[in-house]
Chains A and B, each alone.
Chain A
Amino acid sequence: MNFERLFALAKQKGIEDVQVYLVNRSELSIEVFDGELDKYEIADTTTLSIKGVYHKRMGTFSTEVLDDSLIESIVDNLIANASIIDSLDEAVIYAGDLEYHVLDDLFNEELTKMDVANKIAKVKQLDQLFHQANPLVSIVETMYSESTRTVLLQNTKGLKLENKVNSAMIGGQIIVKNESDQRTAFDLAISNDFADFDLEKIAKEAVESGVRKLGAKPIPSKNYEIILDKDALATLLSAFQNVFSAEAVQKGLSLLKGKLGSTIGSSLFTLVDDPFMKKSSRSRSFDDEGVATKYKELIKAGVLETYLHNLTTAKKDGVVSTGNGFGTSVSAINLKVLPGEHSYQDLLSSMKEGIVITDLQGAHAGANPVSGDFSLQATGFLVENGVEIKPVALITIAGNFIKLLQDITAVGNDIKTGYYGITCPSVKILSLPVSGI
């Protein structure tokens, strides 16, 4: 599409400023089921999102059809959409920052150039490793997916920014089975460099975690001391991350309203948003509004330091954007809980009676980001005198997100970047009510 023509027609019809955001994605995914190539998928798509400020309100339109013949209807839609907005917030299109951080490892050409047959061979190799790891492994689905994403952001304030990111994921889901029980497990690795994929480690860890869960049963209901392991903490943070959004705060949808500068968590707990994290495909030098991204501490030693802002929320609060404007809203980039000084073994050894939680399920429904309350299905291990003595499943843990942050008594140093792109260590929690039998 000819953006100059779009910009010109928009101006002519009274739109103050226009921005286009063009994303092209090419994708590849491979699935192997019990040794055979089961699925193979390729895709190439382009999406154009356009926004325009009309009478200080932002109209938006997105399209996958990029013909110039659509220009007139796009402009009309922007005007119509902006015209029915009666929000008090002022919409802004950004002229740009003086400097943007240079991120040079977001695109690795080697990954894109690598032969597909080679990639399929790797997935089959992982499949083999799963099967060989333990005779109890009964069903294996192994997958690989890869995407390359190029972004062009251009606006009538003269800003033009581009970036290109590629990323791959390799992993598998398995079922382990003995005479009386079956359990699932999965593990994966994400990087844009095949050298980072330790297939033996993926297979070993998934199989071990599955086998350890065999025979898992509920335990009696009562309050237990809890270790939330690194994956479980990431799941929980993912469910509650919207509480840090200034948009949610301003609209009265966040429990952190009015809490800036106050202590909301344990002094052991520091949470940052790091847009420059190495080896993360989520890392960015600019957000969707063209604002330079920044490293920031959201919670520093228990104290709430900042919310996440886009241009609109920042203007309303009289601050500068934190570079977290994504889509038409606000979100974190790479959330990271800073590691503490204890090894995972330390956390375990000092526990007299308690539970290690390794998985949390149902966070999309059982965690309420407005009230902070959660009640979630959990899987893990019962610990007695510093030793994991038996696997536990079909229990729930319940609590409140803020109370949980306050009740952190120790932070591990075993950090991992999980599926949600959130990096966490394991943490120990004073106590939570557990429901079992």
Chain B
Amino acid sequence: MLLEKALIERMIETALQTGADFAEVYVEDRASEMISQIGGRVEKVNSSKLFGVGVRIALGLQSVYGYTNSKNPEELVKLASDLSKSFQGNTILKPIPLGQLEVGTRHVARINPRDVSQPKKVELMKKAYEAAKNYDPVIQQVAVNLSDWVQDVLIANSEGRFVSDTRVRIRMYINAIAGKDGMMQTGGEGPGTGKGYEYFFEDIDIEELAKDAARCAKTMLFAEDCPSGVMPVIIDNKFGGVIFHEACGHSLEATSVAKNASVFCGKMGTQVASSIVTAIDDGTIENGWGSANFDDEGYPQQRRVLIENGVLKSYMVDKLNARRMDHQPTGSSRRESYRFAPTSRMSNTFIDNGTSTFEEIIAATPYGLYAAKMGGGSVNPGSGDFNFSVSEGYIIRDGVIAEPVRGASLVGNGAEILHKIDMVGNNLDRARGMCGSQSGSIPADVGQPTIRVASITVGGKKGAK
């Protein structure tokens, strides 16, 4: 065990000595490995071992958090004691004794990253490199990064929760650069998994993905600059789901809702989206990139229907923010590591399937932008204004996909855009991302079928028509 049960109980008891009504101990051990390769040669290899303990104490709406990477029992009890000094009362709560340790049993990695030799990993990376490099003579450079980690957590609290969970994550980034006459364009793929290496060895074809990164870079090299203006935009499935993640997902997290700082405050039960939109955040998907057995407060991850046929059904809520809201916690608490107090975060978030086919959506669009691949984006939850970049785009003319365009970005307002979704495809698929917010950078899965937004502002270097 990462830390003795008796010591954890002592820490919780100490934490409550000045009148707090909740105490939690989070212990984390993580072994990571990162290999980076440029031009087919391994440039850097780093392995690391992270260990730390976080203690959180709350009284009503106030909370305090502390962390250390000491394993020393006296120092750990002192941390709990130092933190408890933020409150000035007498013990009001006797902690419920920790029960039998509950161990998370789903989302198992069959081929553990620690059991795969480094040369074997490098071989996988070289395969990706070769496939991208040999795709076309314009491909000048290919960078491949592979990182994996095994995170073991132990979470206990004053309500008697006592759980452990193991989270395995593996991610490869393939970045292809196409160049000609001093100009360079990039194309990337970032397959990742909450499984083990069986995902890379058996489930996916890494060479196909690498070729696709190269194809995207080459296409963008010969593409025109994107025009700007307001137009219909068709956003393809997989990483296209980043639009819901940025435009709406963050504004449905208790981090902004509890403090009345979200455009979706007070909207429960009302129509917040077009009636063809159903959106779900599901932390229980088997081996999902954003899945876990338990959230980072030690409660089971859940499937949350956020929006059903356009009606707002649920926020994503952690335990402490629930105290500010008229809403039950939803098992949504996550954090990057022990260095962050947990808070409500997305897990695997996606717009559910509709009824249109991809071909129908394209054919129904006289003029617009087809965003085949999306980059990242960001949102200001206070105003709901969001932006995201298009890494592979095409102009649609008379219902047909026409010339490629590069450098497009989309901006809009989260509350408005949901109403403007006028077609939803039937080809739901998901993709991997890293999401940064209050409790750090965490793996988050995004997804959707192909959707059409009736009108949105497109920014590009070519300027207005």
Report A's interface with B, CB cutoff 8 A: 33, 36-47, 58-65, 70, 77, 80-82, 84-89, 138-139, 141, 175, 182-184, 218, 220-223, 251-253, 255, 328, 361-362, 364-366, 368, 370-371, 373-377, 393-400, 433-437
Chain B residue at minimal CB-CB distance from A66: B69
Partner of A33, one of B67, B259, B375: B259
Q: What are the 3 A-B residue pairs with the smallest beta carbon separation, nearest first? A: A396-B459, A435-B228, A365-B376
B459 near A375 with CB under 8 A, answer yes
Query: Given the complex, which residues of B lie within 8 Å of A36, measured CB to CB?
Result: 61-62
B interface residue count range (under 10 / 10 to 19 / 20 to 34 / 35 or more): 35 or more
A-B contact pairs, 5 of them (CB 8 A): A61-B46, A221-B230, A252-B179, A361-B385, A433-B460
Interface contact B46-A62, CB-CB below 8 Å? yes
A181 to B373, CA, bound (A): 32
Residues from chain B with Cβ under 8 Å of A38 in the complex = 61-63
B39 close to chain A: CB less than 8 A: yes
**Least CB separation from B461: chain A residue:** A398
Chain A contacts of B183 at CB under 8 A?
371
- The A interface, classified by DSSP as helix, strand, loop or mixed, is strand
Residues 411-424 of chain B: 1 if any A CB is under 8 Å from the residue's CB, otherwise 0?
11100000000000
Residue among A63, A251, A394, A433 making CB contact with B228, cutoff 8 Å:
A433
Chain B residues lying within 8 Å of A175, measured Cβ to Cβ, are: 261, 382
A86-B46 in contact given A39-B63, A139-B259 (Cβ < 8 Å): no
- Return the chain A residue nearest B457 by Cβ: A435
Q: Are B389 and A435 in contact (CB under 8 A)?
A: no
Set of chain A residues within 8 Å of B270, measured between Cβ atoms: none
Nearest residue (CB) in B for A81 is: B45
Q: Which of B47-55, B198-206, B298-306 contacts A (4 or more CB under 8 A)?
A: B47-55
Among B49, B64, B71, B119, which residue has the most Cβ atoms of chain A within 10 A?
B49
Collect the chain A residues with CB atoms within 8 Å of residue B61's CB.
Answer: 36, 38
Chain A interface: which of B104-112, B348-356, B401-409? B401-409
Give chain A residues whose Cβ lies under 8 Å from the Cβ of B409.
362, 366, 375-377, 396, 398
Interface string of B220-259 (1 = CB under 8 A from A): 0000011011100000000000000000000000000001
Instruction: State A377–B411 Cα separation when bound (angstroms).
Output: 6
**A394-B382 contact in complex given A61-B46, A141-B259, A370-B184, C-beta closer than 8 Å:** no
> Contact: A375 with B64, CB < 8 Å?
no
Contact A39 B460 (CB under 8 A): no
Contact A435 B376 (CB under 8 A): no
Residues from chain A with Cβ under 8 Å of B70 in the complex: 44
Q: Is the CB of A435 within 8 A of B43?
A: no
Distance in angstroms from A75 CB to nearest chain B CB is 12
In angstroms, Cα B259 to Cα A139, docked, is: 8
**For B41, what are the chain A residues with a Cβ–Cβ distance below 8 Å?**
85-88
Residues on B with C-beta less than 8 A from A255 are 182, 184
> Complex Cα distance A429/B182, Å?
24
Asked if B82 is an interface residue, CB under 8 A from chain A, the answer is: yes
CB distance from B192 to the nearest CB of A (A): 17
Check: B275 CB closer than 8 A to any chain A CB. Answer: no
Chain B positions 427-465 with a Cβ under 8 Å from a chain A Cβ: 457-464
Which residue from B38, B67, B463 sits with its C-beta under 8 Å from A223? B463
A60-B44, A64-B52 given; name 8 further pairs at CB < 8 Å. Answer: A42-B82, A45-B52, A62-B49, A87-B43, A253-B177, A365-B376, A377-B409, A396-B459
For A41, what are the chain B residues with a Cβ–Cβ distance below 8 Å?
A: 64-66, 341
CA distance A437 to B459 in the complex (A): 10
Are B141 and A253 in contact, with the CB atoms below 8 A? yes
Q: Contact: A251 with B45, CB < 8 Å?
A: no
Query: In the bound complex, do residue A398 and residue B67 qualify as a contact, i.e. CB atoms below 8 Å apart?
Result: no
Q: B339 within 8 Å of A by Cβ?
A: yes
Q: A43-B66, A435-B228 are in contact. Are A85 and B44 (CB under 8 A)?
A: yes
Per-residue contact bits, chain B 354-376, to A (CB 8 Å; 1 contact, 0 not): 00000000000000000000011
Whether A45 touches B69, Cβ cut-off 8 Å, given contacts A139-B260, A375-B460, is yes
B377-414 contacts to A, CB under 8 A, are 377-378, 380, 382-383, 385-389, 406-409, 411-413
- In the assembled complex, the Cα of A399 lies from the Cα of B270 at a distance in Å of 41
Q: Is the CB of B383 within 8 A of A182?
A: yes
- Decide yes or no whether B42 CB sits under 8 A from chain A: yes
Query: Does B309 make an interface contact (CB < 8 A)?
Result: no
B45–A85 touching, CB < 8 Å? yes
On chain A, the residues within 8 Å of B376 by CB distance are 362, 364-365
- Assembled-state Cα–Cα distance A4/B89 (Å): 48
Q: Cβ of A370: which chain B residues have Cβ within 8 Å of it?
A: 177, 184-186
Contact in complex: A437, B230 (CB < 8 Å): yes
Q: Which residue of A lies closest to B82 (CB)?
A: A42
> Does B271 belong to the interface (CB within 8 Å)?
no
The answer, yes or no, to whether B274 is at the interface (CB within 8 Å) is no
- How far, in whole Å, are A437 and B389 apart by their CA atoms in the complex? 18
B49 near A65 with CB under 8 A, answer yes
| A184-B464 CB under 8 A given contacts A46-B69, A60-B46, A86-B41 | no
List A contacts of B328 (CB < 8 A): none
- Is B91 in the interface zone, CB < 8 Å from A? no
Kindly provide the distance from the CB of A303 to the nearest chain B CB, expressed in whole angstroms. 18
The one of B39, B47, B49, B259 in contact with A251, judged by C-beta atoms closer than 8 angstroms, is B39
